[in-house]
Amino acid sequence: MTRDQWTLSLRLVLIPALLLLMALWQGHRADAARTEGLQQQSELQGFVLNMQQLQAQRSRESIQLGDKSYSPALAEALAQRRLHQLEREIRIARVGSWLPGPAQGFAALLLGLGAAALLALHFAGKAAMRSRDRLVSLFYIGRQVLPTALLSLVLLLTITVVLEIAYEALWLFTVEQTGSGLAKLQGVVGMILVIMLWPLYRLPRQLKAMTKLFDSEPHAIFGRALSEDQAPALWARVRALATRLDALMPDHIVVGYLDGFYVTSSDVELAPAGQRLQGRTLYVPIPLLALLDANETDAVIGHELAHFSGQDTDYSIHFMPIYDGAWRSVGVLRERMAGGFLQGLLTLPAHDLAVHFMRCFDHAVSHWSRSRELLADATAARLHGAQAVVDSLVRTTALGTAIDVCLNEWCQQPEAWPDDVLQALLAHLAAQPPQVPDGELDEVLPHPTDSHPPTIQRLQALGMGLEAVDHGRGLRAVVPSVAMADLEQALPGGAVLARYLGEELSTRLVEHHEQMRQELEARAQAADGRCVLHEGAQARGRLVLALTVLFAAGGLWLAWMALTPGTKPGLANFFGIVAGTLGALSVLFGVLGWRLIKRADTPALIFDAHSMHFANAPQAVALHHVEDYQILATPALTLRFQLAEQAPLPTFRRKGFWGPDAKFDAKTRTISLGLTRWSIDGEALDVQALVALVARYLEGGHARHTLAELQDQAPSTQPTGH
Please determine, for residue 17, whether its predicted confidence score (pLDDT) is greater than 90: yes
Q: Which of 388-397, 497-506, 527-536, 583-592 has the highest mean predicted lDDT (pLDDT)? A: 388-397
For 284: left if phi > 0, alpha if psi spans -120 to 50, otherwise beta; the answer is beta
Distance of CA 429 to the CA centre of its chain: 42
Distance CA 408, CA 421 (A): 13
Per-residue pLDDT, 327:
63
The DSSP call for residue 534 is B
Amino acid at site 65: L
**Burial group, residue 459, by CB count within 10 angstroms (0-12, 13-18, 19+):** buried
Buried-exposed string 576-595: b where 16+ CB fall within 10 A, e elsewhere: bebbeebbebbeebbebbbb
Distance of CA 564 to the CA centre of its chain: 51
| Residue 247 pLDDT class (50, 70, 90 cuts) | very high
The domain ranges of the chain are 3-211, 219-330+361-518, 538-593, 602-712
Q: Which residue has the higher pLDDT, 273 or 452?
A: 273
Which pairs from 277-281 meet CB under 8 Å and 24+ separation?
277/225, 277/251, 277/252, 278/251, 279/250, 279/251, 279/252, 280/248, 280/249, 280/250, 280/251, 280/252, 280/308, 280/317, 281/221, 281/250, 281/251, 281/252, 281/253, 281/254
Those residues with Cβ within 8 angstroms of residue 33's Cβ, 6 or more apart along the chain or in another chain: 93, 96, 568, 569, 570
Dmax (CA) of the chain: 130
Please determine, for residue 207, whether its predicted confidence score (pLDDT) is greater than 70: no
Please determine, for residue 284, whether its predicted confidence score (pLDDT) is greater than 80: yes
What would the mean pLDDT of 405-409 be, rounded to a whole number?
A: 85
Q: Which residue has the higher pLDDT, 280 or 158?
A: 280
**Burial group, residue 171, by CB count within 10 angstroms (0-12, 13-18, 19+):** buried
| Residue 589 pLDDT class (50, 70, 90 cuts) | confident
What would the mean pLDDT of 617-632 be, rounded to a whole number?
A: 89
Distance CA 247, CA 520 (A): 49
At 660, is the secondary structure helix, strand, or coil?
A: coil
Please determine, for residue 446, whether its predicted confidence score (pLDDT) is greater than 80: no
| Residue 616 pLDDT class (50, 70, 90 cuts) | confident
pLDDT digits (tens, 9 = 90+) for 495-542: 999 999 988 888 887 787 778 778 888 888 888 788 999 887 677 778
| Residue 716 pLDDT class (50, 70, 90 cuts) | very low
Distance CA 489, CA 290 (A): 9
The secondary element (H helix, E strand) that includes residue 284 is strand 281-285
Please determine, for residue 721, whether its predicted confidence score (pLDDT) is greater than 50: no
Per-residue pLDDT, 714:
47
Q: Which of 252-261, 312-321, 624-633 has the highest mean predicted lDDT (pLDDT)? A: 252-261
Those residues with Cβ within 8 angstroms of residue 570's Cβ, 6 or more apart along the chain or in another chain: 29, 30, 32, 33, 93, 96, 171, 174
Those residues with Cβ within 8 angstroms of residue 439's Cβ, 6 or more apart along the chain or in another chain: none
Amino acid at site 504: E
What would the mean pLDDT of 355-372 be, rounded to a whole number?
A: 83
Per-residue pLDDT, 631:
81
Please determine, for residue 191, whether its predicted confidence score (pLDDT) is greater than 80: no
Give pTM, 2 decimals: 0.62
What would the mean pLDDT of 209-218 be, rounded to a whole number?
A: 61
What would the mean pLDDT of 138-156 be, rounded to a whole number?
A: 81
The DSSP call for residue 439 is T
Per-residue pLDDT, 180:
53
How high does pLDDT run on average in the chain? 82
Distance CA 156, CA 145 (A): 16
Cβ neighbours, 10 Å, residue 21: 12
Please determine, for residue 173, whether its predicted confidence score (pLDDT) is greater than 80: no
Q: Which residue has the higher pLDDT, 385 or 357?
A: 385
| Residue 409 pLDDT class (50, 70, 90 cuts) | confident
What would the mean pLDDT of 403-427 be, rounded to a whole number?
A: 85
Distance CA 233, CA 251 (A): 16
Distance CA 254, CA 484 (A): 19
The answer to whether 629 and 640 have CB atoms below 8 angstroms apart is yes
pLDDT digits (tens, 9 = 90+) for 472-496: 999 999 999 999 999 999 999 999 9
Per-residue pLDDT, 719:
40
Angle between helices 232-245 and 294-305 (to 10 degrees): 60
Rounded (to 5) percent helix, strand, coil in the chain: 65, 10, 25
Alpha carbon separation from 14 to 10, 115, 205, 282, 545 (Å, rounded): 5, 10, 28, 49, 35
The answer to whether 65 and 78 have CB atoms below 8 angstroms apart is yes
Per-residue pLDDT, 289:
96
Lowest mean pLDDT segment, chosen from 102-116, 198-212, 391-405, 663-677: 198-212
Q: Which of 279-293, 368-382, 529-543, 556-570 has the highest mean predicted lDDT (pLDDT)? A: 279-293
Question: Measuring CA to CA, which residue among 564, 569, 559, 575 is closest to residue 40?
Answer: 569
Those residues with Cβ within 8 angstroms of residue 543's Cβ, 6 or more apart along the chain or in another chain: 593
Q: What percent of the chain has pLDDT over 90?
A: 26
Distance CA 711, CA 682 (A): 40
| Residue 340 pLDDT class (50, 70, 90 cuts) | very low
What is the chain's alpha carbon radius of gyration, rounded to the nearest angstrom?
Answer: 36
Angle between helices 538-563 and 569-599 (to 10 degrees): 160
Distance CA 671, CA 622 (A): 13
Q: Which of 301-315, 507-521, 599-613 has the highest mean predicted lDDT (pLDDT)? A: 599-613
At 352, is the secondary structure helix, strand, or coil?
A: helix
What would the mean pLDDT of 194-220 be, rounded to a whole number?
A: 61
pLDDT digits (tens, 9 = 90+) for 466-475: 888 888 999 9
| Residue 62 pLDDT class (50, 70, 90 cuts) | confident
Please determine, for residue 711, whether its predicted confidence score (pLDDT) is greater than 50: yes
What would the mean pLDDT of 4-17 be, rounded to a whole number?
A: 81
Q: What percent of the chain has pLDDT over 70?
A: 83
Please determine, for residue 368, whether its predicted confidence score (pLDDT) is greater than 60: yes
Distance CA 55, CA 74 (A): 10
Please determine, for residue 571, whether its predicted confidence score (pLDDT) is greater than 90: no
Distance of CA 69 to the CA centre of its chain: 70
What would the mean pLDDT of 255-280 be, rounded to a whole number?
A: 88
Those residues with Cβ within 8 angstroms of residue 521's Cβ, 6 or more apart along the chain or in another chain: 703, 707
Question: Measuring CA to CA, which residue among 456, 311, 326, 281 is closest to residue 379?
Answer: 311
Distance CA 19, CA 153 (A): 13
Please determine, for residue 694, whether its predicted confidence score (pLDDT) is greater than 50: yes
The answer to whether 220 and 250 have CB atoms below 8 angstroms apart is no
DSSP line for 124-193: HHHHHHH-HHHHHHHHHHHHHHHHHHHHHHHHHHHHHHHHHHHHHHHGGGGS---SHHHHHHHHHHHHHH
Cβ neighbours, 10 Å, residue 37: 22
Distance CA 83, CA 468 (A): 99
Question: Measuring CA to CA, which residue among 453, 146, 126, 135 is closest to residue 319?
Answer: 135
Distance CA 641, CA 669 (A): 8
